[in-house]
């Protein structure tokens, strides 16, 4: 098992990609904290993992609220004795052409994706630094950390920003053995993407099938969605990597949509 006895906090893990990562980490021996806005769903995900023999707890956390983040991280440290891995994954999507984007929606997007990454990192680093065991911070970026798409100004801006944050954490964390990296998935069928398909069809004046084929998967090498398992395996690779050799990096998992 690659994460035996490690303690991991995964934000937004009650659904989609975060849930897939939590299940994979638990299978590899980690104690996982399912940190999410929605405590009932977080507890349900944790119960599912425990029913399969894993160790998991649900934690209520709005990643945009500093007190909630600090309280959630303290609760995890109390329950698991520390925190070795942070996966900052919570996210939402709002799509509009720039000229129609409300300032409130812009700020909400940056708050969840960027403030959330900052606040959770800030809360976890002192525990990683003190433990003497090092740690791994992983940000859920996107192909949109590298590429732009129409209608997604704040999402693309925030996802690019996470790469900058990871590089700073990599530099500051190195002397404590703390690595920071970014996973950049292509489209994965989760509630977040399922919600966008009709919205994009409406905004672009095309059918939902055309959104999938001609917008979402157009640039992939094989017209395939990336899966939860693909993203979870890539995240596990960063989480389990034992040295500072792999830090400050971003890994694109997208069926060739974006090639470095
Ligand atoms: P999802 O909607 O299935 O899950 C997101 C989770 O985040 C939900 O459980 C939600 O309750 C939680 N959340 C939302 N706001 C929160 C907040 N303020 N505090 C705490 N939790 C909050 O979405 P997903 O597709 O699994 O997306 C997860 C991450 O992956 C996001 O950062 C997203 O940008 C990124 N991503 C997704 C795709 C994709 O195609 N699905 C591709 C690339 C990157």
Residue 11: CATH number of its domain:
3.40.50.720
Between β-strands 85-88 and 7-11, what pairing exists: parallel, antiparallel or unpaired?
parallel
Which range marks the domain in which residue 124 is found? 7-188+227-253
What's the sign of the alpha-carbon dihedral 85, 114, 202, 254?
negative
Q: Whose CA is nearest to atom 17 of ligand 1?
A: 62
Task: List, in order, residues 6 or more apart from 132 with CB less than 8 Å away.
Answer: none
Q: What is the three-class DSSP state of 147?
A: coil
- Ligand 1 nearest-atom number relative to CA 141: 44
Q: What is the model's pLDDT at position 229? A: 98
Tell me the CA end-to-end span of the chain in Å, nearest whole number.
Answer: 31
What pLDDT does residue 142 have?
98
Q: Which atom of ligand 1 is nearest to the CA of 155?
A: 34
Q: In the prediction, which pLDDT does 250 show?
A: 98
Going by CA atoms, what residue is nearest to atom 33 of ligand 1?
Answer: 91
Question: Is 199 inside any structural domain?
Answer: no
- Supply the pLDDT for residue 160: 99
Q: How many CB atoms lie within 10 A of CB 255?
A: 21
| Burial letters 162-175, b for 16+ CB under 10 A, else e | bbebbbebbeebee
Distance 13 CA to ligand 1 centre (A): 8
pLDDT (tens digit, 0 to 9) for every residue of the chain, 260 residues total?
Answer: 999 999 999 999 999 999 999 999 999 999 999 999 989 999 999 999 999 999 999 999 999 999 999 999 999 999 999 999 999 999 999 999 999 999 999 999 999 999 999 999 999 999 999 999 999 999 999 999 999 999 999 999 999 999 999 999 999 999 999 999 999 999 999 999 999 999 989 989 999 999 999 999 999 999 999 999 999 999 999 999 999 999 999 999 999 999 99
User: Of ligand 1's atoms, which has the minimum distance to the CA of residue 14?
Assistant: 9
Question: From the CA of 91, how far away is ligand 1's center (Å)?
Answer: 4
245 CA distance to ligand 1 middle (Å): 29
Report the domain count for the chain: 1
Nearest to 9 by CA among 44, 60, 66, 64: 60
Residues with CB under 6 A from ligand 1: 11-12, 14-18, 36-38, 61-64, 89-92, 112, 140, 142, 185, 187-188, 190-193
Is 217 part of any domain? Answer: no
Comparing C-alpha atoms, which of 73, 71, 70, 67 is closest to residue 85? 73
CA distances from 36 to 140, 199, 219, 249 (A): 15, 25, 32, 26
Q: Is residue 208 part of a domain?
A: no
**Half-sphere exposure of residue 18, counting CA atoms within 13 Å on the CB side?**
30
pLDDT, position 208: 97
Which residue's C-alpha comes closest to atom 12 of ligand 1?
12
Residue 206 lies in a domain: no
Ligand 1 mean position, distance from CA 132 (Å): 31
Of 143, 190, 194, 254, nearest to 18 by C-alpha is 190
CA of 123 to the centre of ligand 1 (A): 20
* Alpha helices (H) along the chain: 16-27, 39-51, 66-80, 103-110, 116-131, 153-173, 191-204, 208-210, 228-240
**pTM for the whole thing?**
0.98
CA dist., res. 30 & res. 154, Å (int): 33
139 belongs to the catalytic site? no
User: Of 127, 139, 155, 176, which residue is the catalytic one?
Assistant: 155
């Amino acid at each position: 098992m690659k994460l035996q006895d490690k303690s991991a906090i995964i934000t937004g893990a009650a659904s989609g990609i975060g849930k897939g990562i939590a299940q994979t980490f638990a299978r590899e021996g980690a104690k996982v904290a399912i940190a999410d806005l929605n405590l009932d769903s977080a507890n349900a995900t944790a119960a599912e993992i425990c029913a399969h023999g894993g160790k998991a707890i649900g934690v209520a956390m709005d990643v945009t609220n500093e007190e909630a983040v600090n309280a959630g991280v303290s609760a995890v440290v109390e329950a698991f004795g520390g925190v070795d891995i942070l996966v900052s994954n919570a996210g939402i999507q709002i799509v509009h052409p720039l000229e129609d984007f409300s300032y409130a929606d812009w700020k909400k997007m940056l708050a969840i994706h960027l403030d959330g990454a900052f606040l959770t990192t800030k809360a976890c680093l002192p525990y990683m630094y003190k433990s003497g065991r090092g740690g791994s911070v992983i940000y859920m970026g996107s192909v949109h950390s590298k590429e732009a798409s129409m209608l997604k100004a704040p999402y693309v801006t925030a996802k690019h920003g996470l790469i900058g944050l990871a590089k700073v954490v990599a530099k500051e964390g190195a002397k404590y053995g703390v690595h920071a990296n970014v996973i950049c998935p292509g489209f994965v069928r989760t509630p977040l993407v399922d919600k966008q398909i009709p919205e994009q069809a409406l905004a672009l004046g095309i059918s939902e099938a055309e959104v999938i084929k001609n917008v979402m998967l157009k640039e992939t090498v094989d017209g395939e969605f990336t899966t939860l398992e693909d993203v979870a395996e890539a995240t596990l690779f960063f989480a389990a990597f034992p040295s500072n050799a792999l830090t400050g990096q971003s890994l694109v998992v997208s069926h060739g949509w974006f090639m470095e």
